[in-house]
Amino acid sequence: MLGGLFGDFVRGRRALRNFPEPVRQGIILHRYIDKLTDRSAEVKHLKTCFPREFRRFSGIVIDLAFDHELAVHWYRYMPGSLERFDVETRDLLRDHADLVPERLTRFMAYADRHGLFTAYRETDMILFALAGLGARLSRPNPLHRIAEIWPALAPEFQTAFRTFFPAIQADVLEWRQRKSTTTGS
């Protein structure tokens, strides 16, 4: 799980050497999920639904839209509550603070200030997060105007997520079984 949290904050193969094997495997799994996501028919279709000026940034929007869908419908896909998961995630990061990448530490400070991840249930918080991301990007982008297109896309996000997420869960289970068989663990 720890490596899964690090996935967006650790770049390159060499950086993997800085972590214990279970953390490395979590980072690799995160990258595998990212690759499956980018190649999925649902995500490819969603990208075509965006107005042209938003398409370059559609991956970012879809990522947060799927976070929103998962938060709203957590009970359908995950055991326990989202609130419990949130607490356990923060505990895990605190218990392994010596391994946590600096960028993740900064992101978690932001998350704490805004009540993420349970706040991802709220559309307004997702729109706020997307506008904030847009402000931090180096190139000009329309993410500050995401609220203009969100209502039209929201039903598409929901439909795509309901197909996409169970498929990803199955792929991850299969990946973990393959790795377990390969490594003998």
pLDDT at residue 117, as a whole number: 87
pTM over 0.75: yes
Q: Give the model confidence (pLDDT) of 109-144 as tens digits.
A: 988 888 888 999 999 999 999 999 999 999 999 999
Q: Where are the domains of the chain?
A: 2-183
Query: Tokens 């203009």 belong to which residue?
Result: 148
Q: Which two tokens stand for residue 114?
A: 């805004």
Please give the distance of CA 74 from its chain centroid, rounded to a whole number: 14
Q: How far apart are CA 86 and CA 106, in angstroms?
A: 17
Tokens of 157: 């996000």
* pLDDT for the residue 34: 94
Give the side-chain half-sphere CA count within 13 A for 54: 22
Q: Rounded to the nearest 5 degrees, what angle is found at the Cα of 54, between the Cα atoms of 77 and 128? A: 60
43, 109, 13, 40: CA torsion to nearest 10: -10
> For 18, what's the count of Cα atoms within 13 Å in the CB-facing half-sphere?
14
What percent of the chain has pLDDT above 70?
Answer: 98
Sign of CA dihedral 153, 156, 162, 163: negative
Task: Tally Cβ neighbours within 10 Å of residue 120.
Answer: 23
Task: Give dist(CA 166, CA 182) in Å, integer.
Answer: 24
